Chains A and B, each alone.
Chain A
Amino acid sequence: KAGVTQTPRYLIKTRGQQVTLSCSPISGHRSVSWYQQTPGQGLQFLFEYFSETQRNKGNFPGRFSGRQFSNSRSEMNVSTLELGDSALYLCASSPWTGSSYGYTFGSGTRLTVV
């Protein structure tokens, strides 16, 4: 069974640009969540999608957005990139939405903003 696939693995962007990251969940998983990992702030929840609807959102500015497609694949977009957006972005999937499910994480996309 294939795991959570995130593309690309590495990305370098210039300040002010926008970026789109992609996540393919485990087959059959319908919930996709996104997390940002930085040395200073640690792991922070961005948002969760289930059945193409955003269910929850973390405390991030509106420059961070996402969507989920009918096949459960998800994308997140960051507009007007800032240096502080440099981070490892992790996608996680679970079979359903709900507190008790453990997430399966992808290997992440390492975004560097210069």
Chain B
Amino acid sequence: AQSVTQLGSHVSVSEGALVLLRCNYSSSVPPYLFWYVQYPNQGLQLLLKYTSAATLVKGINGFEAEFKKSETSFHLTKPSAHMSDAAEYFCAVRRGGGADGLTFGKGTHLIIQP
């Protein structure tokens, strides 16, 4: 079975500062990894995904993530935070073969300080 751990249920950064949201996974087989964002009263929006091609993945809204197999990590970063980035962020894993659907982390609430 696979699992996802997101370090920090809340992360606060100043506007213009670096955003770093941490995600570690466990999977018995090479995984597919995803980051989603959820704004209040809305569904999930796909930011980016890793599917065993390039280890550095660029997504929408200036976000990117790097797959590090040795560290079993897939941290999400953005060089400069914007007020509109305030939301809940979820890391998810799905193992190759896709038998179990997406397994999500508990989420990280990103707060942007003006």
Q: How large is the interface on B (under 10, 10 to 19, 20 to 34, 35 or more residues)?
A: 20 to 34
Pick out which of these stretches binds chain A: B12-20, B72-80, B97-105. Answer: B97-105
Give, as a whole number of angstroms, the nearest-CB distance from A1 to chain B: 15
For chains A and B in complex, what number of residue pairs have CB atoms within 8 angstroms?
63
A100–B51 CB distance below 8 A:
yes
User: Within 8 Å CB of A105, what residues of B?
Assistant: 36, 43-45
Q: How large is the interface on A (under 10, 10 to 19, 20 to 34, 35 or more residues)?
A: 20 to 34
User: Within 8 Å CB of B100, what residues of A?
Assistant: 45, 56, 58
A98–B34 CB distance below 8 A:
no
Asked whether A25 is an interface residue with its Cβ less than 8 Å from the other chain, the reply is no
Asked whether B63 is an interface residue with its Cβ less than 8 Å from the other chain, the reply is no
B107–A48 CB distance below 8 A:
no
Q: Which residues of B pack against A, CB within 8 Å?
A: 32, 34, 36, 41-46, 49, 51-52, 90, 92, 94-107
